[in-house]
Structure 1
């Protein structure tokens, strides 16, 4: 019995040992298989210098710049795997082939299958921009072009230049430059311009492989990528004269602008939460008037404000317990548009919210404090203002309405250094024309003793007789106008007296029709926008400084984009 138990235990140990050995061998076998698979996998290299080399072309079939081209397929072979990037934006073909070719990547090859619609005796250029990149790092082969001719001659003439904005003079990127034979000027039609290129980030463009001929050239900042001018929503530039192309032409510079829509439209109409009615038009309205047709009381007491450019209007009415209004907009005393506007479910809160200038809580003895509001102000009741210097109530301040704008009030005081001021507008201190009132508002102020104001005088020379110029003081970004002055040959100076310190730019507009505004152009009538120049530096107004500069306006004597440079 004892011997039998010992033998059973010994056999059990041998069995366990055998199983462990087999499991160990199996585990090692699985590990070896895993290592083999891992070694066989293509791995992205780690460490080392970053790959920055674009793919190189090893072979082009047929060869680039081939003549008498009859092939149906182009094969371009690279030194590494490639892929196409942003093909719709980067690739372009000129002239248009009628139907789009088919692009396929097969490992290191790019295959281009051409349509059957190629013209005879025509030079075609396929531009790839930055759309050919290596597979792993995405390095682009920049500005590669494949060129071929279906005739026995490669067209080789070129046109180059720059595109800017007509109003800001900033260079314009991603603008289409279109070249159209004079015999088929299709910029306004349904047929796409088929000779084109796109400006780079510096606004430069170049059209290559052109044949001799007479053309019209346009720059188009389009929205739907159809290479057709679709109206005033798209910016366009052009040369007044056609181009006779017999040699390479450089410096064919264009300026783009938005034209005036042919058909007037009220783009937006709505009741605002403050009770006003906003109207936005698709163009400027000349001598506008706005009347209410279906509400005599509201029409009699209404207040209408048109924007400085007369392309929008804000309407204020006394009775807002209405469902809708029917308005008529007139231009030069003639009906222009009938507008039906419904109030809908807008929750209106008629209250006046005061606006303070300056809005940084620091006042000075030159501009003092201005109080205005979006809503028309009828009156500010001084008895409902609490003016404190430190903690003491003061009443010897001035409250006066502006002589030029009755919606602005001035609060003037002999502000003093190291004093703290507070002005409290108690509820009802400000009253609007239709009974609106303000809620309680407190404003804390301190005196800015830096006296950061200076004088700046400009004298302008080389003005044309019988011509008005608009001198605009603007910010560095060119998107805010602080002040506009009119000058002419008899009154050629502008003086900024005690003007706030800071950096400013000057824009001058030749106001040919003397309407006080910059007027745009019309591509169909071949008229250009009114000429604009910027003075060639930024001006800094410093505290207690007097500066004087003189500038020539000879650059506004003629439009520089009407003629082709010789």
Structure 2
């Protein structure tokens, strides 16, 4: 009996132990591994001279992998054939298939492409350097790549040096030395031999180290670079050459009219029908204020398609199809409820206006007193204004009786009554810029909104510029050095050895507040 109890006790104890061992316990873990892989050995050694090996082996203290190798790896000078890379455990093998140049220092810059397996910790900016000659070249060239027009830094741009002075080199030959810009637009070409070099920067779209696409952004210097010592702050200003041809960018069809928008302003434009005599069906043709659009107003048609030939007497000769559905369309008036106090009362119609009968137009003050007014067209005959002695922060009642407007189709407007308000000066701010500059060329001053869009531009002909009636918000200033005095920024051209016009951006944002006059000083000078 006692023996049975002891056996039962021991069986129960063993079961408890087994259950305890089987319980799942959360891992205690430790701090996250943030240590990059460490190089244990290189064969041949780094900075090896009289290099003759066809293969390089790099051993690490942990398992490694490549991350974005094609984007990160840069070989200077570039090789005709890609390096053949292989990873086995903790070792990387690099096979060189090219015939290397004599007495040349090579740099294999892996960037941040070598990472550990577990946590993706990169080995930052790892480079392997060797020379086929008896010494390692040690000079360097560094600087920044900046967009010429908007002054933004540019990542991923190739900066290249050529040891000859032929203009065709960037178009057909690989460079002597090369580097790529980082996220801050910075570059550094290391292990450069003393000498004279042609400089060229390229946003390489097809990754062949050649400037062979018109859409590729480039930068260059018109003079040879003399390298006798380390060179710093050698900045380049990136631009895209202007090879644009004229074309119809978009077309907008609105009942009786079609608006054609072009990618470039034009001097003149011809539009004719391919299957229709356009003179018989066209009512009005209006050119946009910036000479980059055309509005066509057709006779009343019921859902009709026609083909048009658009020609600018230069490069444009395009055929487009348009749809017109203008039958029985009413004349409509669009007028916003709020207007700027420093402008006239502006409104639009959906068709061009031929006649105006002012006896059918009434403008009443709050006390019902009638206001005298004049009228006119802004840019086109469907953009109109009424001018009267309106006051700030005031309301007016506008009445358009039937017959106030007659369009080119003989249609008249329905009765429209609208209450409108003019805002007040206190809702806006003013900005005065006092300018000092030793730059003698003509200069243009651009006011940019927080998105970087140009909202105003003036010639700097005086020492003080005033921008009035600005909406509250943050603004930037940009100066364009207008060398050719054409009132616009001009890009560069490599074959013509023409650099883009320089721009200077005010570093600080300017905050403009409502009902406030802001005044700043700006010393406009070239920067290194």
CA distances 1:469-521 after superposition (whole Å, capped 9, x unpaired):
32222213322x22222233xx4442334444433322222323222211111
1:292 aligned onto 2:300: no
Which residue of 306, 310, 329 maps to 1:323? 306
Which residue of 505, 510, 523 maps to 1:534? 505
**2 CA distance for matches of 1:176 and 1:279?**
36
- TM-score of the aligned structures, taking structure 2 as reference length: 0.79
- Describe the shift of the 1:197–1:420 C-alpha distance in structure 2 as closer, same or farther (beyond 3 A): same
CA contact (8 A) 2:149 2:239 kept: yes
Matches within 5 A, 1:278-289: 278-281=260-263, 284=264, 288-289=267-268
CA contact (8 A) 2:475 2:511 kept: yes
Q: Report the CA distance between 1:324 and its aligned residue.
A: 1.0
Q: Report the CA distance between 1:139 and its aligned residue.
A: 1.1
1:371 aligned onto 2:347: yes
1:483 aligned onto 2:487: no
Q: Report the CA distance between 1:211 and its aligned residue.
A: 1.7
Matches within 5 A, 1:243-392: 243-261=225-243, 264-266=245-247, 268=249, 270=251, 272=253, 275-281=257-263, 284=264, 288-294=267-273, 295=277, 297=279, 302-305=284-287, 308=290, 312-319=292-299, 321-330=304-313, 335-343=314-322, 363=339, 365-367=341-343, 370-372=346-348
Partner of residue 144, structure 1:
126
Partner of residue 101, structure 1:
83
SS of the aligned residue for 1:276 comes to strand
- Describe the shift of the 1:339–1:411 C-alpha distance in structure 2 as closer, same or farther (beyond 3 A): same
Q: Report the CA distance between 1:145 and its aligned residue.
A: 0.6
CA distances 1:166-188 after superposition (whole Å, capped 9, x unpaired):
11112222222122222565555
Matches within 5 A, 1:58-97: 58-97=40-79
CA distances 1:291-340 after superposition (whole Å, capped 9, x unpaired):
124445179855343574x6x4334242574521122204xxxx443222
**1 CA distance for matches of 2:331 and 2:216?**
39
Partner of residue 479, structure 2:
508
SS of the aligned residue for 1:289 comes to coil
RMSD of the TM alignment (CA)? 4.3
CA contact (8 A) 2:288 2:379 kept: no
CA contact (8 A) 2:112 2:122 kept: yes
SS of the aligned residue for 2:171 comes to coil
For structure 1, which runs of at least 5 residues remain unmatched after alignment? Answer: 1-27, 562-566
- Describe the shift of the 1:184–1:123 C-alpha distance in structure 2 as closer, same or farther (beyond 3 A): farther
Q: Report the CA distance between 1:289 and its aligned residue.
A: 0.4
- Describe the shift of the 1:450–1:432 C-alpha distance in structure 2 as closer, same or farther (beyond 3 A): same
Matches within 5 A, 1:57-206: 57-183=39-165, 186-193=168-175, 195-206=177-188
**2 CA distance for matches of 1:393 and 1:267?**
50
SS of the aligned residue for 2:279 comes to helix
- Describe the shift of the 1:435–1:414 C-alpha distance in structure 2 as closer, same or farther (beyond 3 A): same
Partner of residue 22, structure 1:
none
For structure 2, which runs of at least 5 residues remain unmatched after alignment? Answer: 1-14
- TM-score of the aligned structures, taking structure 1 as reference length: 0.74
CA contact (8 A) 1:364 1:415 kept: no
- Describe the shift of the 1:98–1:231 C-alpha distance in structure 2 as closer, same or farther (beyond 3 A): closer
CA contact (8 A) 1:402 1:410 kept: no
**2 CA distance for matches of 1:204 and 1:351?**
61
- Describe the shift of the 1:518–1:355 C-alpha distance in structure 2 as closer, same or farther (beyond 3 A): farther
- Describe the shift of the 1:56–1:356 C-alpha distance in structure 2 as closer, same or farther (beyond 3 A): farther
CA distances 1:228-272 after superposition (whole Å, capped 9, x unpaired):
2235422211111111222211111001112111x7352646464
Partner of residue 451, structure 1:
426
CA distances 1:407-432 after superposition (whole Å, capped 9, x unpaired):
35357685787x98887989998776
For these two proteins, the number of residue pairs brought into alignment is 502
1:460 aligned onto 2:435: yes
SS of the aligned residue for 2:190 comes to strand
